[in-house]
Amino acid sequence: MRQRITVVGSINLDLVATAPRLPAAGETVTGATLARHPGGKGANQALAAEKLGAEVWLIGRVGDDAMAGEALALMEDFGVDLSGVEVDPAAPTGVALIAVDGTGENQIVVAAGANHMVTPEQLPQRIETALIVQLELPLETVEAAVGRATGFVCANLAPAAPVSEALLRRADLIVVNEGEAAFYGDALHHGGGWVVVTQGARGAEMYHRGVKVAWATPPVVTAVDAVGAGDAFVGAITVALLEGMEAQDALRFACAAGACAATRPGAQPSLPTRAEVEALIGA
């Protein structure tokens, strides 16, 4: 039976410039190529979970503009339920400006646009499926979504921002990278759920009540573009835990999903299928 997940999150169009290296402050780097891909953490995680076997409903907002169709196209193709996505008559579709170097490292600047217009009034009074949230929407809306959830809650606390103690305690799974983990400190471990700290190519660690219970390293791959790899990880570990995988297996599955995403350019175009992840683990 497919796991049902609601994602409350951001929807962007990514404008990706790939250059030989990333610029220093005040520097101009030439010789780049430009691509346009659907993105946004919410949309990425929704598509990631859908491609890994879940049944996903996305709640978000886009502008009444040509970019909206591009931003939603891949999710439509793969069957994500977009009935919760509203069109804002005034704000533009969110845009991420992304610079990527030859090793896959990136710098990102986001113009949130319609994402900042997602209010608690757009949410259902009860969210009875599993829930995934991130912090690219107004915090009031994220907090409201978590407060209305009756099932499993995954909180990807990115980008780092102050959140309530109630959210930290309610989350069954918190996912952060090393920088975000440093921002939140011990507060991450005040609840009774899992806390996962990702470490890029070095893998990830899982904690329960401050005690490390699992760790995994990703398969060795040739990284092309790390954009979307973290979102693939979030979607994968949520699906894995909902399916009842043990902590170690779930972490290994998620690391493989993130590694697979890093082998292709773009956020959503890089997200792997279940078969691709399982093949990479098997290899």
Residue 34, SS3 per DSSP? strand
Report whether 201 contacts 224 (CB < 8 A): no
**Who contacts 200 (Cβ-Cβ below 8 Å, separation ≥6)?**
177, 226
In which band, very low, low, confident or very high, does the pLDDT at 181 lie, cut at 50, 70 and 90? Answer: very high
Q: Which two tokens stand for residue 246?
A: 């043990």
In which band, very low, low, confident or very high, does the pLDDT at 281 lie, cut at 50, 70 and 90? Answer: very high
How far apart are the C-alpha atoms of 63 and 22, rounded to whole Å? 30
Residue 14, SS3 per DSSP? strand
* H or E element at residue 241: helix 229-242
On the question of pLDDT at 126 being above 90, the answer is yes
The 10s digit of each residue's pLDDT in 224-275 is 777 789 999 999 999 999 999 999 999 999 999 999 999 998 889 999 999 9
* H or E element at residue 86: strand 81-88
On average, the pLDDT of the chain sits at: 94
The catalytic site residues sit at: 231
How far apart are the C-alpha atoms of 252 and 165, rounded to whole Å? 29
Name the percent of the chain lying above pLDDT 70: 100
Average pLDDT over residues 184-213: 94
On the question of pLDDT at 29 being above 80, the answer is yes
Residue 16, SS3 per DSSP? strand
The runs of H, that is alpha helices, within 3-115 are 41-51, 66-78
Structural domain boundaries of the chain?
A: 4-11+40-93+113-282
Name the percent of the chain lying above pLDDT 90: 85
How far apart are the C-alpha atoms of 101 and 86, rounded to whole Å? 34
**What is the C-alpha R_g of the chain?**
18
Instruction: Name the superfamily (CATH) of residues 4-11+40-93+113-282.
Output: Ribokinase (3.40.1190.20)
